[in-house]
Structure 1
Amino acid sequence: MSAAAPQAELRLVVLGRTGPGQSPAGCTILGLQDSEQGPGEAVSQECKHRGQNADRQLVVVSSPAWFSSGCSPEDRRKQISSFVALSSPGPHAFLLCVPVNQPTDGEDKALDALTKLFGPSVVSRHTIVLFTHTEELEEDEQLDEYLVTWRKDLRELVERCGGRYHTLESRSGGEAGERDAVEELLQMVEQMVKESGTQHLSCPLYDEAEERVRQRQVEVVRRRRAEELSEEASPSDSQPEENVTEEELESVRDEAERSVGDLDVDVDDIFPSTSVSPSSSSFLQGLWEKLMDWLRWLPRLVRREALFGALVGLFMGGPFGGMVGATVGSVATEVGRRKTQKTK
């Protein structure tokens, strides 16, 4: 596959669960230190940074986990409207940060929501899975091997995104490994843009956002002109000129994007009410975290698939649930035993 020509500017939207992984990804792409991101910026509100890395001009927009079950409809609408306006006229790629050590329920919902927001092609043609927490893998285990052997749920997530995935967490460490990882990611984005046949994602919601941004740009320029004239002239002479140049519009773009307001987003249709309460979701997440903690104390042959079996047995209950859990655990152990023998 031939490399695509570099874009003049790449706009990337980083999505993921609130917490470690999402903010470092944006910093790594732009070559920023964590301290340059601003305390708590990427986990509590939308943020936009411009920068240059790997000989490319980059715009990275990070957004809170508006697709999570604990987000209210009002917050969803505001957060979706904000990241859409900040990445207008459209991103070249969505980067969905996915921790390899957790289940994928939230990320599946994120892809479903993106499809409803921007159309059926946004996931298959404009989204890349960006894996985080790869330090949780065994020391000699490669990411692709882990996905194939243990995590069918992560493989299915990647398949929805056209088979594209990457990680910025280089095991070789150092600045050289980080630079190579960023270069590979940006090449993947450019190749994806080339294959999609479009300059960037385009859809009615982004068209609406861009129209509003342009309107706000004109309003901001005229307001500033009026303020300048009011300081230099009498009230009767303080009407700003009607013509607005492109240079003036670009100079106020960031302010205009941040003041667009809520877009026409039907969050009730995108996120229908479910019978699963936030407390139930929190319980399941807590249970998963406990199981992952126990994994650190288990023998190396007893891997994550065995825990999936235990989880199935726990919720199914009864003899049948126990039988399913035991069977999955036995299969995982046998696979691990054969794998170990093969490497000796």
Structure 2
Amino acid sequence: MTQKRPLGFGIIGTGAIAGMHAAAINACEDSQLLAVCSSSPERAKEAAEKFKVPADADWQAFLSREGLDVVCICTHSGNHLEPAIAAARAGKHILLEKPIEVSLERADALIQACTDSGVKLGVIFQNRLKPGYLQLKEAVRSGKLGKLLMGTAAINWYRDPTYYSSSSWKGTKEGDGGAALINQGVHTIDLLLDIMGDAETVYGQVRTMVHAIEGEDTATAILNFKNGALGTITGGTSLYPGNPERLEIYGENGTIILEGGKIVVYAIKGQESVPVPQSEIGGSGASDPMAIDYKLHQGQVSDMVEAIRNDRSPLVSGEDARRSLALILGIYRSSQENKKVRLT
């Protein structure tokens, strides 16, 4: 049997998260980092030295490189659309960082560009691969919890003021889309929706109470899910010292609670409570955004390779990623209008 060549990956955007993507790509047998693209010749030179691959400061030169199959987009959240359209039109598959974009209009344009060009679009939500979450999802899908009654997500984190002051885009509406929910909270909100299904209505309140930023650093919301269940979300980057994120799922037959991606409560009627094997994979960014490792990103890189080779949807598609964005934007709108809003 002829061995398949590794797929060629490139990265647009060379900030902190790009290092996670590079490590994940290099750790996979079926992927190879070929090149990176940065925002200026100076940054490109630094990136070439850091990642030990050729670097460009121009999208078109980067996208013309031979053997490039997949582009990881690691630019700031409000700058995903333009490089994604360029990559899609060049026939490259796309794996981009969360959130998919900062508005539904830009997200829809990005999804449509990939559809029109016939390329795969995957979005990084690596916490879907944590062992504890996979066990929770299996319990729900197999009916062990019975009818779902309530789901809660708490991302009560902390960021030092320098996290925002050292960046030109973090916490801005144009670059970040907001702040605590759309940047930090979006991971756990994605998991909440993956388990509970879409929300029908939301009433939210967001505030900027500690940090000198445009977006929110403290937020809360009440949800009504389409399946009849209730839900809540709390989140922040103002909540010192920052607690590990929690996902609590309640059904008529029991409760499962994740904290920092690990199961801390697994209680099902009629079943003895047994110790749940834990894993350190992934980590939590409760007080440090880089307190995570690349292994879950590696899982999504491997999944992207398999999706391309087997012509299937990636683990998290553009449409999947749009759901968490729509809910978060609904929370922002609800807070601005001070009323419950219906989500479409």
Name the TM-score, length of structure 2 as normaliser. Answer: 0.34
Higher strand proportion (structure 1 or 2): 2
Q: Which has the larger radius of gyration?
A: 1
RCO higher in structure (CA 8 A, sep ≥6): 2
Larger proportion of helix: 1
TM-score normalized by structure 1? 0.34
